[in-house]
Amino acid sequence: MPFEMLFDRDHKVLLVRFGRALTRQALESMVQAARQFVAVHGNCDGIVDFSAVEKIDIDVAYLRAYGGSPRVMAACTACINRTARARSPWWCATCRRPTTFWA
């Protein structure tokens, strides 16, 4: 499996960890799995861990298009944690602060 999903029920946080290769198929599978998870368990905070990724095999045009699509897991720094390493230009739908992507 190109990723694993772990859920902290006490804090309602879904952690997705990608493996060594990040591919278009892995990203699409993760989004589908996360949407299914949320349909069953309800909305929750999410963290995506790319720290194990060694190879990215996704074309830039796809990433640009993907960036404009509705996101499954995005929240601002205040909603998740203040230790994020990278920030995106998007805004949290809940509190209107900049979203945070975890690496």
Is pLDDT of 3 > 90?
yes
The contacts of residue 13 (CB under 8 Å, 6+ apart) are 7, 44, 45, 46, 47
Is pLDDT of 26 > 90?
yes
Q: What is the pTM of this model?
A: 0.64
Question: What is the C-alpha to C-alpha distance for residues 103 and 96, in angstroms, rounded to an integer?
Answer: 22
Question: What is the C-alpha to C-alpha distance for residues 26 and 91, in angstroms, rounded to an integer?
Answer: 25
**33-48 pLDDT per residue, tens:** 988 998 898 888 888 8
**28-86 pLDDT per residue, tens:** 999 899 889 988 988 888 888 988 999 999 988 888 887 777 665 555 545 544 434 44
Quick check: 76 and 99 in contact, CB under 8 A?
A: yes
